[in-house]
Structure 1
């Protein structure tokens, strides 16, 4: 029996995709006026953890018998030495796995915090952030203190005496809470997007960008199932952990993909121009969504009164990649005493027209005039 092909396939397929998505995310963010944010750096931390977990899995599979019976392990080691190497690599894998998943959770939550600036979702986001912090601290404490001293975890002679938390209990308790948090994080943005007044195709596309995390939730459930079946007293640790590590590596790498995928809409718009991802047709609606609830906008053609529904910040996410190159849009900035301000400025705002542009004309010439009246309605 040999589960190494499962481990290799899981890592060599998902890890490069996660790296590509992260690079595209950073490139897409670099093109915006906002630049990089804390969510981008947390995404880098998350990928670092996923990379570390994949490296541990590859070393375990290539050199120390992961996915194979204990008797088929490295010939230069005794069975006790093989078992010690297995437990040491499991401990390192748990450490990098925790860093990768925690970084991903905080990256997506800080992105939500920036995106839903005036939404009712901000309180749930704060609560989930605190819960994720508690999960991270609890998992790290269990990892380092389940055996005292910590090195007793991989010391076969001391393991039964100095380890007081069963490995299966550790996996089950921390992975189950991790799965619940993932489901909550998955649902948070979908509710906000569902409330937006967007064309159906565009709404589905945006929800799909956020909803990729559902695949991760499925993998997490499979990892929980394997945690139930794990026998912490068995000496066949390397064999039993073969499929477990293959699924966990895929979960960790796909989590990184789901974290960065919502940031790639500008990339998709360039690859698939004119698709249902475009928001030209609904741009006026998106802007109207962002205007304060108590204001109306009047121009020479009529009056538009919009209602604030908490989507003012996400409108920037929906429309910012459709603005002509050189323009700056600042959406959802609390510049007024009520609601939201949108500022659109021309790339030629700092340039002086050539003196010959109005030769032969006297006085002040106005080529185009737009009047916008802002009034308080109640």
Structure 2
């Protein structure tokens, strides 16, 4: 999330709450600063702002705007870092084991062999786990290290084929979790990410993602068709494994990022099977991200409508969703997959310019024999 000392996202419109949020950010920054030497001893280097003896590099508000060390990470429990062994950009996440043990257990489960190397596994891989020394059970006790990912729709997808490959991967990933008897329970848009390394070979600045890592100049990138991307499900804080020997699972609602789940709104104190709720989450993500905002994916309307039905018992299970999606995908011609994804917010001038650019780019893709369905190599 882009941000600096002058653009901290407020939690409320009231001045008092904004000031509280700013103070929370400062306390969080000091926490990262305090453990920076220990992190470096473990092989992870934070940005200059978080060094123990850091002093601002800017002289005034004008020069502050161009200063890399003015960039604040406003997400509180996560921090970017450079892995010293290879210079890779990684994400550090603070997790309180006493409050959230399931996240660590689920992440470790899908990051251990043989599941880790399974081609259908789209759970974000765990690179490392660090136990913070001197921490008590009332404080964050471990740091999970992940690849540094990017929002799945940043930059926007450009073709029908790029969207279909994205949906294919996410359905595949959810199907894999369900086959392992895990429900994600928060599979909304913010918990679906893209591995950007293929599109951004030199990566980008972790806060101001439009800029290079050195905060100078634009971060160059390719399209997904030229460099296919892999997508991941993240954030397993609400995920849970259910023993199939006990029959269809029942659990009380947990409110994740998507507050629109029909069964939770109607009867919030009842127990529900969490697997149909996962179907709703993904279907609603497709509806709100693509069907409501673009033209060219109308063939997905019926399947998505079935996924987001109010009655969870009427929603197809993930195997049926994948089967129906595969049928739809096989019916699409190459020219449909290569067609431009038209966004509803385009002006006529922007639309014309994008059409011209699209067909020039598409001609190059065809000549270079690039697939209309950009599936990354395993």
Q: Normalising by structure 1, what TM-score?
A: 0.24
Of Structure 1 and Structure 2, the greater helix share is in: 1
Please tell me whether Structure 1 or Structure 2 has the larger radius of gyration of its CA atoms: 1
Of Structure 1 and Structure 2, the greater strand share is in: 2
Q: Normalising by structure 2, what TM-score?
A: 0.24
